[in-house]
Amino acid sequence: NTGLGDDPSGLIIPELKLRNGTLYCLLTGNAPLYDNDEFVGVYHWDDFNTKWIHHRVTVHHPKEVSDQYDLWAYPTSFDVDPASGTMWLVDLETNWNYLASGVWKSTDNGINWVRVKQFTFPYHVMAVGDRVYVCGGRSISMTGDAGWGDGGLLYSDDGGKTWSKNEQVPLLKNANSVAIDPTNSSMLFYTFFGGGMLHGPVP
Protein backbone atom coordinates (compact mmCIF):
# COMPACT_ATOMS: atom_id res chain seq x y z
CA ASN A 1 0.00 0.00 0.00
CA THR A 2 2.99 2.33 -0.20
CA GLY A 3 1.89 5.69 -1.57
CA LEU A 4 -1.80 5.36 -0.71
CA GLY A 5 -1.65 7.16 2.63
CA ASP A 6 -0.74 6.46 6.23
CA ASP A 7 -4.04 5.52 7.88
CA PRO A 8 -5.32 2.03 6.93
CA SER A 9 -8.87 3.11 7.85
CA GLY A 10 -8.79 5.54 4.95
CA LEU A 11 -7.75 3.00 2.31
CA ILE A 12 -11.13 2.37 0.67
CA ILE A 13 -10.58 1.15 -2.90
CA PRO A 14 -13.82 0.72 -4.92
CA GLU A 15 -12.15 0.01 -8.27
CA LEU A 16 -9.03 -1.44 -9.89
CA LYS A 17 -8.51 -1.25 -13.66
CA LEU A 18 -5.77 -2.40 -16.01
CA ARG A 19 -5.13 -0.05 -18.93
CA ASN A 20 -2.32 -0.58 -21.47
CA GLY A 21 -0.51 -2.84 -19.03
CA THR A 22 -0.68 -0.30 -16.17
CA LEU A 23 -2.65 -1.02 -13.01
CA TYR A 24 -4.78 1.86 -11.70
CA CYS A 25 -6.90 2.17 -8.59
CA LEU A 26 -9.37 4.63 -7.10
CA LEU A 27 -9.11 5.63 -3.44
CA THR A 28 -12.35 7.15 -2.17
CA GLY A 29 -13.52 9.09 0.88
CA ASN A 30 -13.71 7.32 4.24
CA ALA A 31 -17.33 8.02 5.08
CA PRO A 32 -18.63 9.12 7.52
CA LEU A 33 -15.42 10.82 8.70
CA TYR A 34 -14.31 12.23 5.33
CA ASP A 35 -10.90 13.13 6.72
CA ASN A 36 -8.67 11.50 4.09
CA ASP A 37 -9.25 14.13 1.39
CA GLU A 38 -5.57 14.59 0.50
CA PHE A 39 -5.32 10.93 -0.51
CA VAL A 40 -8.56 10.65 -2.51
CA GLY A 41 -8.20 10.14 -6.26
CA VAL A 42 -6.73 7.98 -9.02
CA TYR A 43 -3.40 6.17 -8.61
CA HIS A 44 -1.23 3.97 -10.78
CA TRP A 45 1.20 1.29 -9.63
CA ASP A 46 4.85 2.14 -10.28
CA ASP A 47 6.42 -1.29 -10.53
CA PHE A 48 9.99 0.04 -10.69
CA ASN A 49 9.68 2.05 -7.45
CA THR A 50 7.14 -0.37 -5.94
CA LYS A 51 4.65 2.28 -4.88
CA TRP A 52 1.38 3.91 -5.90
CA ILE A 53 1.55 7.28 -7.70
CA HIS A 54 -1.24 9.77 -7.06
CA HIS A 55 -2.72 11.51 -10.14
CA ARG A 56 -4.13 14.52 -8.34
CA VAL A 57 -2.60 17.98 -8.18
CA THR A 58 -5.41 20.51 -8.64
CA VAL A 59 -9.15 19.83 -8.63
CA HIS A 60 -10.66 23.03 -9.96
CA HIS A 61 -13.69 24.32 -8.08
CA PRO A 62 -16.63 24.77 -10.49
CA LYS A 63 -17.63 28.43 -10.63
CA GLU A 64 -21.27 27.55 -10.09
CA VAL A 65 -20.52 25.63 -6.87
CA SER A 66 -20.29 27.49 -3.57
CA ASP A 67 -16.78 27.61 -2.07
CA GLN A 68 -18.15 26.21 1.18
CA TYR A 69 -18.62 22.78 -0.42
CA ASP A 70 -15.76 20.30 -0.54
CA LEU A 71 -14.94 18.40 -3.72
CA TRP A 72 -14.43 14.68 -4.22
CA ALA A 73 -15.91 13.65 -0.90
CA TYR A 74 -16.84 10.23 -2.29
CA PRO A 75 -15.63 9.21 -5.78
CA THR A 76 -17.25 6.02 -7.00
CA SER A 77 -15.60 5.18 -10.33
CA PHE A 78 -12.84 6.15 -12.78
CA ASP A 79 -11.46 5.20 -16.14
CA VAL A 80 -8.40 5.93 -18.27
CA ASP A 81 -8.79 6.15 -22.04
CA PRO A 82 -6.24 3.65 -23.41
CA ALA A 83 -5.71 5.69 -26.57
CA SER A 84 -5.44 9.27 -25.31
CA GLY A 85 -4.60 8.77 -21.64
CA THR A 86 -7.51 11.03 -20.67
CA MET A 87 -8.62 10.31 -17.12
CA TRP A 88 -12.23 10.32 -15.97
CA LEU A 89 -13.67 10.26 -12.45
CA VAL A 90 -17.19 10.46 -11.01
CA ASP A 91 -18.17 11.26 -7.43
CA LEU A 92 -21.36 11.22 -5.36
CA GLU A 93 -23.05 14.20 -3.79
CA THR A 94 -22.57 13.52 -0.07
CA ASN A 95 -21.32 15.13 3.13
CA TRP A 96 -23.56 18.12 2.32
CA ASN A 97 -21.62 19.11 -0.84
CA TYR A 98 -24.75 20.28 -2.66
CA LEU A 99 -24.50 20.03 -6.48
CA ALA A 100 -20.70 19.76 -6.19
CA SER A 101 -20.38 16.23 -7.56
CA GLY A 102 -20.30 15.04 -11.15
CA VAL A 103 -18.10 13.96 -14.03
CA TRP A 104 -14.46 15.07 -13.89
CA LYS A 105 -11.82 14.98 -16.59
CA SER A 106 -8.03 15.34 -16.73
CA THR A 107 -6.08 15.54 -19.97
CA ASP A 108 -2.68 16.10 -18.33
CA ASN A 109 -2.22 12.93 -16.29
CA GLY A 110 -4.02 14.26 -13.23
CA ILE A 111 -2.32 17.63 -12.87
CA ASN A 112 -5.60 19.44 -13.52
CA TRP A 113 -9.09 18.04 -12.98
CA VAL A 114 -12.09 19.94 -14.34
CA ARG A 115 -15.75 19.10 -13.89
CA VAL A 116 -17.43 18.69 -17.28
CA LYS A 117 -20.90 17.67 -16.05
CA GLN A 118 -22.90 18.05 -12.85
CA PHE A 119 -24.23 14.61 -11.88
CA THR A 120 -25.76 14.10 -8.45
CA PHE A 121 -25.42 10.33 -7.93
CA PRO A 122 -23.09 8.77 -10.52
CA TYR A 123 -21.82 5.27 -9.84
CA HIS A 124 -19.83 4.29 -12.93
CA VAL A 125 -17.83 5.78 -15.80
CA MET A 126 -16.46 3.97 -18.84
CA ALA A 127 -14.39 5.29 -21.77
CA VAL A 128 -14.80 3.43 -25.06
CA GLY A 129 -13.07 4.93 -28.08
CA ASP A 130 -14.34 8.48 -28.57
CA ARG A 131 -17.31 7.92 -26.26
CA VAL A 132 -17.59 8.08 -22.48
CA TYR A 133 -20.53 6.59 -20.57
CA VAL A 134 -21.67 7.63 -17.10
CA CYS A 135 -24.41 5.83 -15.17
CA GLY A 136 -26.15 6.60 -11.92
CA GLY A 137 -29.29 7.68 -10.14
CA ARG A 138 -31.73 9.74 -12.15
CA SER A 139 -31.55 12.45 -9.49
CA ILE A 140 -34.85 13.07 -7.79
CA SER A 141 -35.09 14.93 -4.51
CA MET A 142 -35.74 13.27 -1.17
CA THR A 143 -39.37 14.40 -1.44
CA GLY A 144 -39.76 12.70 -4.80
CA ASP A 145 -39.68 15.82 -6.95
CA ALA A 146 -37.63 15.87 -10.14
CA GLY A 147 -34.83 18.33 -10.65
CA TRP A 148 -32.31 17.72 -7.89
CA GLY A 149 -29.39 17.97 -10.25
CA ASP A 150 -28.81 15.74 -13.26
CA GLY A 151 -28.38 12.02 -13.68
CA GLY A 152 -29.40 8.88 -15.55
CA LEU A 153 -27.79 6.96 -18.39
CA LEU A 154 -25.54 9.59 -19.96
CA TYR A 155 -22.95 9.49 -22.73
CA SER A 156 -20.75 11.99 -24.56
CA ASP A 157 -19.03 11.80 -27.95
CA ASP A 158 -17.06 15.05 -27.73
CA GLY A 159 -14.94 14.68 -24.64
CA GLY A 160 -17.64 15.82 -22.23
CA LYS A 161 -18.55 19.11 -23.91
CA THR A 162 -22.11 17.93 -24.54
CA TRP A 163 -24.09 15.02 -23.11
CA SER A 164 -26.97 12.88 -24.30
CA LYS A 165 -29.28 10.76 -22.17
CA ASN A 166 -30.32 7.23 -23.11
CA GLU A 167 -33.94 6.94 -22.05
CA GLN A 168 -34.89 4.17 -24.48
CA VAL A 169 -34.65 1.51 -21.79
CA PRO A 170 -37.40 0.08 -19.53
CA LEU A 171 -35.58 1.12 -16.34
CA LEU A 172 -34.38 4.66 -15.79
CA LYS A 173 -33.76 4.88 -12.04
CA ASN A 174 -30.97 3.41 -9.93
CA ALA A 175 -28.55 2.65 -12.77
CA ASN A 176 -25.33 1.16 -11.43
CA SER A 177 -22.97 0.36 -14.30
CA VAL A 178 -22.55 -0.11 -18.03
CA ALA A 179 -20.43 -2.49 -20.12
CA ILE A 180 -20.06 -3.12 -23.83
CA ASP A 181 -21.08 -6.63 -24.89
CA PRO A 182 -17.73 -8.38 -25.56
CA THR A 183 -19.35 -10.47 -28.30
CA ASN A 184 -21.07 -7.58 -30.10
CA SER A 185 -19.78 -4.01 -29.81
CA SER A 186 -23.11 -2.60 -31.03
CA MET A 187 -24.80 -3.87 -27.86
CA LEU A 188 -24.30 -3.09 -24.18
CA PHE A 189 -25.35 -4.12 -20.69
CA TYR A 190 -26.77 -1.84 -18.00
CA THR A 191 -27.01 -2.98 -14.37
CA PHE A 192 -29.44 -1.55 -11.81
CA PHE A 193 -29.79 -1.57 -8.04
CA GLY A 194 -32.79 -3.82 -7.39
CA GLY A 195 -33.58 -4.06 -11.09
CA GLY A 196 -31.17 -6.65 -12.42
CA MET A 197 -29.45 -6.28 -15.79
CA LEU A 198 -30.64 -5.10 -19.20
CA HIS A 199 -29.14 -5.84 -22.62
CA GLY A 200 -29.76 -3.65 -25.65
CA PRO A 201 -28.36 -1.54 -28.48
CA VAL A 202 -25.70 1.10 -28.04
CA PRO A 203 -27.42 4.51 -28.17
Q: How far is Cα 152 from Cα 192, in angstroms, rounded to an integer? A: 11
The answer to whether the Cα torsion of 125, 127, 132, 133 is positive or negative is negative
Task: Work out the number of other CB atoms within 10 angstroms of the CB of residue 14.
Answer: 14
Q: For residues 92 and 34, give the distance between their C-alpha atoms in angstroms, rounded to a whole number.
A: 13
pLDDT at 140: 59
Report yes or no: 11 and 5 within 8 Å, Cβ to Cβ: yes
Give the model's pLDDT for residue 147. 55
pLDDT at 148: 65
At 69, which amino acid appears?
Y
What's the burial of 133, exposed, middle or buried (CB within 10 Å: 0-12/13-18/19+)? buried
Task: Say what the pTM is.
Answer: 0.92
Q: What confidence score (pLDDT) does residue 153 get?
A: 93
pLDDT in tens, the chain (203 residues): 889 987 766 789 999 999 999 999 999 999 888 989 999 999 999 999 999 999 999 999 999 998 999 899 999 999 999 999 999 999 999 988 888 999 999 999 999 999 999 999 999 999 998 999 999 987 655 555 555 678 889 999 999 999 999 988 888 778 999 999 999 999 999 999 887 999 999 99
